[in-house]
Structure 1
Amino acid sequence: MQWNWQTVTWAVVALLLFAAEAMAPGAFMLWLGFAAAAVFVIVLAIPGVPVLAQVAAFVVLSFVSIQVYRTWFRGREPRSDQPALNRRADALVGRVVPLERAIVNGHGRVQIADAYWDVTGPELPAGVAVRIVASRGMSLLVEPAG
């Protein structure tokens, strides 16, 4: 086991990447830090590895570790029990509300709580109950309820 400038450099790079991950978490620098730590172990165990081979190993191990993250860890995040929480229009899909203004030429308006929403759908008179079936930006797509 020999400590030289290359060994110390890879140890410092790994520690800096881990510190960067701790300061700005996002699970990206962590995996680069693992690659740098692996190169540190390789350089520590096998003295005399050329610098170009060390850098190539770091690049390859970085790609491999990021693929490991994307394949096994990224898709395993817990699913929300309220997937439309921050998408207000999507949260309204399925509700039945009366038309506040008749749908003429495909456009009308409904009132939900204290907000007015533009709606698109078939020609219907004011007061008819409609079901919200989709949202497109700030406009709701409706159909007659019933």
Structure 2
Amino acid sequence: MDAWIAGSGIAPAWWWLIAAALLAGAEIVAPGFFLIWLGGAAAITGVATLLLGLPDAAQFLLFAVAAMALVLTGRRFFRYADVASADPLLNDRAARLIGQVVIVVESIDDTGGRVRVGDGMWSARGVHAAVGERVRVIGADGNVLRVEAV
């Protein structure tokens, strides 16, 4: 069974290379960036099996080692990769509100209050303000907006 997968007529090296192509193709469809590393490990295993005629146990061991090495290397590289964004505040709603003028809907005192932002309401802290007053968002602490008088 080392030289040929029983009954298929296809050498194991080609199964590894087919798996590599399928994993690379699945990376295009699936979200994330993980399957490409497994596809790379399968390609390494396929080429090594084709050139060296590795037995089954060595093939699976090589695949496991190559997969771990590629995943860890990719993770390390992309963790520190500086990816510029056209909108760096895209996933930071509170930061996007800085500078906006909002209306107080629950008076703001030492314990806080609430402001209307668009069609929603946010907790707010900062300058004392009565209901109906306008205040400017100057920052955020978690999901609590810091405000100042306009």
TM-score (norm 2): 0.71
Residue identity opposite 1:119 in structure 2: A
What are the ranges of 5 or more consecutive residues in structure 1 without an aligned counterpart? none
Q: Deviations over 1:38-72 (max 9, x none)?
A: 1111111112x221111000000001111221122
Tell me the equivalent position of 2:84: 79
Equivalent in 129, 134, 141 of residue 140 of structure 2 = 134
Match in the other structure for 2:8:
none
- Residue 41 of structure 1 corresponds to 47
Counterpart among 2, 23, 30 of residue 24 in structure 1? 30
Specify the alignment match of 2:112 in structure 1: 107
**RMSD, aligned CA:** 2.9
- Seq. identity, %: 34
Cα displacement string for residues 58-97 of structure 1 (whole angstroms, at most 9, x for unaligned residues): 000001111221122453252224322343322123x264
Q: Normalised by the size of structure 1, how large is the TM-score?
A: 0.73
* 1:41 to 1:119, Cα distance in 2 relative to 1, 3 A: same
Q: Which residue of 7, 14, 17 maps to 2:20? A: 14
Structure 2 unaligned segments of length 5 or more: list them.
5-10
Work out the CA distance in 1 between the residues paired with 2:17 and 2:129: 73
Is the counterpart of residue 120 in structure 1 residue 114 in structure 2?
no
Q: 2: distance between equivalents of 1:59 and 1:98?
A: 56
SS in 2 for 1:76: coil
Amino acid at match of 1:89: A
- 2:95 aligns with one of 90, 95, 105: 90
Cα shift at 1:34: 1.0
Residues of 2 paired with 1:13 and 1:91: CA distance? 44
Aligned partner of 1:134: which letter? A
Provide the C-alpha distance between the structure 2 equivalents of 1:44 and 1:96, rounded to a whole number of angstroms: 63
Runs of 4+, deviation exceeding 6 Å = none
